[in-house]
Amino acid sequence: MSMTASYHELTFEALDRLSACADRIVHVIKQRAPVAGAVVLATCNRFELYLDIDAQLTEAGIIHAARHIAGLVAVESGVDAEMALASFRISTGSDTVAHLFTVAAGLDSMVVGEREVAGQVKRALAASHEAGASSPLLEMLFQRAARASKQVAEQTALGHVGRSIVTHSLDVAGQSLPPWSQVRALLVGTGFYAGAVFAELTSRGCADVSVYSPSGRAKTFTAKHQATAVDDLSASLASVDIVLACSGAHNQAASLDRGYVIDKAVLADVARSLVMIDLALHNDIDPTIGALDQVTLVGLADLTEQVPPADAAAIVAARRIIDEAVTDFEDTRMGREADAAVVALRARADERIAEKVAELVESAKRSGETDIDIDAITRRVRGPIHAQLHQHILATRASVREAAKANVPFSADLATHSLLRTE
């Protein structure tokens, strides 16, 4: 089952509030919800929960589970419980598989074909695994999603046509800047996203990059990148051409007694024209700064409206790969469930044979028989039970195929429930 919220349905402000618990909710879900596993995928434009739940749950049971988990999210993020539940789209079975594979391939991104999300999907699984919250089914699901994403990148033109939000933001910013080799840039943030921004800047020829970290990690970042760590934010802002903010350092900003990392007070000494790109879901830059004459401010919401369309043929080819990957995953999953059901059927058959033999031996003893041939009794009992077992195995495999076609859960427990009633 998946519970997904993204820029498709919610404003960035609503996503911001909802995803405030992203770093801890997987622990909460695993501890307080009846799930076998959980993975949380939180990016700048989506907050998604992937859950390994009981396959036998009815539709009402799934809704109940979703309501319970949405309540946990509400408590941890500080939003209203009903608002949290209404924010999520709930899906199960192959619909969940198809959605994750589509997301991982960049087909559900603001900029179709962006590659950052593939790494985010891998890290989401790694984080869940490290927290002890994943499950074998979720491990297989996310690994297959990464494989499908790689196939799309290698076998279609989407990787060339589709561009990341970072790439697009610099395309937009470049229209107001001198040649990149002459640009002085300030990067706010030191996380993975900051690394992607730095790589894109240098690929365009920008060699003068300063780094400011609200959490004090600028020197750690610049030790691995050809950039300069700065401590004085105001002075740095007064000497650069572009600011790219992607720290989302809401807590650090609050500790500085201001709501944003960069506000109007910090810009007091800036008299020159300045392009500012806020890529943080938790805004780093006060949106009202955009009203200043010397500032051109572009945020995620602005970028959403400006993203270029991807090539239609590349999208069709990518979706074909995703469809095949989903079918392959479902075949594998159903095959494993069928194998588990067959193993359970054989075990139940052996139990039934042993039970029946014991009944017949006890009956013979009560009748006064002394020369009881247990092997002969076992052979006599085994024949009809194995014949029935064969029919049940055939029926089970057929049920697995029908469940896959109808996109409904299949349970190995139900397959053995009525097994071997004949004497």
Calculate ∠ Cα 60-68-5, nearest 5°.
Answer: 90
Which is nearest to 106 in space by CA: 52, 45, 49, 51?
45
Directed axis angle between helix 59-77 and helix 25-32, to 10°?
Answer: 130
Return the residue matching tokens 């064969």: 390
Is 44 part of the annotated catalytic residue set? yes
Return the residue matching tokens 């009903």: 82
Classify 205 in phi/psi space as left (phi over 0), alpha (psi -120 to 50) or beta.
left
CA 421 to chain centre: 45
Catalytic, out of 21, 44, 206, 246: 44
Output the 3-class SS for 383-404. HHHHHHHHHHHHHHHHHHHHHH
Q: Which residues contact 277 (CB under 8 A, 6 or more apart)?
A: 169, 170, 172, 173, 242, 243, 244, 245, 298, 299
Residue 189 to residues 10, 47, 195, 196: CA-CA distances in angstroms? 25, 21, 9, 11
Directed axis angle between helix 374-406 and helix 312-366, to 10°?
Answer: 160
Distance CA 383, CA 381 (A): 6
Distance CA 165, CA 193 (A): 10
Which is nearest to 280 in space by CA: 330, 241, 244, 319?
244
Q: Which residues are catalytic?
A: 44
